[in-house]
Amino acid sequence: MLSKRSLLAGTAAVGATLAVVLSGCSDVGTESAEHDHGSHEHETTSAPADGAQSAHNEADATFARDMIPHHEQAIVMSDIILVKPDIDPRVTELATQIKDAQGPEIATMQGWLTQWGVQTPSGHAGHGGMSGHAEMGMMTDQQLEQLRQAQGADAARQFLEGMIVHHEGAVRMAQTEVDTGQAEEAVHLAHEIIETQQREIATMKEILDSL
């Protein structure tokens, strides 16, 4: 029969063994948790970023950079005619249509320039800062002032004649983008500008013939 001292010694040994085993399990659990946490962090940081910039070239940048002030002037011309009394309603409707279309397009192109890291042209509704403004169909400051001073049918006529030339310049700019641009969204907008403004040119010529 075992003595009391032997039993106590055996119990102590078993307890020590259990402590070692439990300690080992605890370490394994901790290491496993740390490993899982580290793996999760790695997966999160290595995920591909969303919203990658689309490919673009210098033609895309030039198109957006020049078309923004071009559109801005079209809006100025429309604002001038919209505050005048006794203007043919077909002309005011067209001016409103131009403003509604070109305002959002300006914001879209400004967003592209920001994404592409290209400096956005400073807001100027005239022709300053643009090379070859006459080729682009831009009105001079003198022509804009004449439009401001004109009234009635004469104002409508000046607006239509100026906007036809303005639109023709935009169509040429957009065609250059279609031919040489790379960014899909910019080329798509250029196609829309060509289609919309050619249709508006035809409408303006019809109105002019009837004034």
Q: Establish if 48 belongs to a structural domain.
A: no
Top-confidence residue, 133 or 170: 170
Q: Establish if 53 belongs to a structural domain.
A: no
Measure the CA angle with vertex 152, ends 150 and 157; round to 5°.
Answer: 70
Q: Are residues 175 and 147 in the same domain?
A: yes
Dihedrals phi, psi of 84, to nearest 5 degrees:
-90, 145
Q: Are residues 22 and 79 in the same domain?
A: no
Q: Are residues 150 and 182 in the same domain?
A: yes
pLDDT digits (tens, 9 = 90+) for 178-201: 999 999 999 999 999 999 999 999
Q: Are residues 66 and 139 in the same domain?
A: yes
Q: Are residues 152 and 82 in the same domain?
A: yes
Q: Establish if 102 belongs to a structural domain.
A: yes
Give yes or no for a contact between 207 and 93, defined as CB atoms under 8 angstroms apart: no
Query: Which pair of tokens denotes residue 170?
Result: 């935009």
Q: Establish if 50 belongs to a structural domain.
A: no
What's the confidence (pLDDT) of residue 119? 87
Q: Are residues 105 and 29 in the same domain?
A: no
CA–CA dist 58, 74 (Å, integer): 24
Summary mean pLDDT of the chain: 80
CA–CA dist 184, 24 (Å, integer): 60
Q: Establish if 52 belongs to a structural domain.
A: no
pLDDT digits (tens, 9 = 90+) for 144-168: 999 999 999 999 999 999 999 999 9
In this model, does residue 30 exceed pLDDT 80? no
Number of domains within the chain = 2
Residue 162 makes CB contacts below 8 A (sequence gap 6+) with: 77, 139, 143, 147
Q: Are residues 126 and 176 in the same domain?
A: yes
Annotate 153-179 with DSSP letters as a single string: HHHHHHHHHHHHHHHHHHHHHHHHHHH
What range defines the domain where residue 81 resides?
A: 58-210
Q: Are residues 97 and 187 in the same domain?
A: yes
* pLDDT-based confidence at residue 132 (cuts at 50, 70, 90): low
Provide the CATH number for the domain around residue 172. 1.20.1260.10
Q: Are residues 131 and 167 in the same domain?
A: yes
Q: Establish if 46 belongs to a structural domain.
A: no
Q: Alpha carbon of 165 to those of 2, 73, 116, 142, 170: distances in Å? A: 116, 12, 30, 16, 9
Q: Which pTM does this prediction carry?
A: 0.71
Q: Are residues 4 and 63 in the same domain?
A: no
Q: Establish if 10 belongs to a structural domain.
A: yes
Of 6, 147, 135, 144, nearest to 66 by C-alpha is 135
Q: Are residues 27 and 66 in the same domain?
A: no
Q: Are residues 193 and 167 in the same domain?
A: yes
